[in-house]
């Protein structure tokens, strides 16, 4: 059973707005003057994952708090020898 995360969550410098449908959700992440649409939002039990901008967020929901990690994508390239 996915945790309920629907609603508005406060960040130190912004807010996370989530509209949840069972284990899937969409919404926006606002930090400072920047607002990003959430994609790939998913709940598996109490584990939350989503992408906003070039950052993948993953965390654990515990009551009225979410704690986790933000992993930023960065460009990379390789060449074959």
Task: State the average pLDDT for the chain.
Answer: 92
> Nearest 5 degrees, angle CA 75-CA 77-CA 81?
170
Give the pLDDT score at 77.
63
Residue 80: the pLDDT is 81
Residue 6, Cα to own-chain centre: how many angstroms?
A: 12
CA angle 60, 53, 17 (to 5 degrees): 55
Residue 39: both structure tokens together = 């994609």
- Could you tell me the residue ranges of all domains in the chain? 7-72
Q: What is the pLDDT of residues 18-50, one digit of tens each?
A: 999 999 999 999 998 999 999 999 999 999 999
pTM: 0.87
How far apart CA 51 and CA 28 sit, in angstroms, is: 10
pLDDT of residue 37: 97
The mean pLDDT value for 44-70 works out to 94
């Amino acid at each position: 059973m996915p945790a309920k995360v629907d609603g508005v969550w406060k960040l130190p410098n912004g807010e996370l707005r989530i509209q949840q449908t069972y284990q899937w959700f969409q919404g926006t992440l606002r930090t400072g003057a920047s607002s990003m649409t959430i994609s790939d939002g998913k709940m598996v039990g109490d584990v939350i994952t989503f992408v906003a901008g070039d950052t993948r967020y993953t965390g654990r929901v515990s009551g009225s708090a979410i704690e986790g990690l933000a992993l930023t994508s960065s460009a990379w390239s390789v060449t074959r020898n």
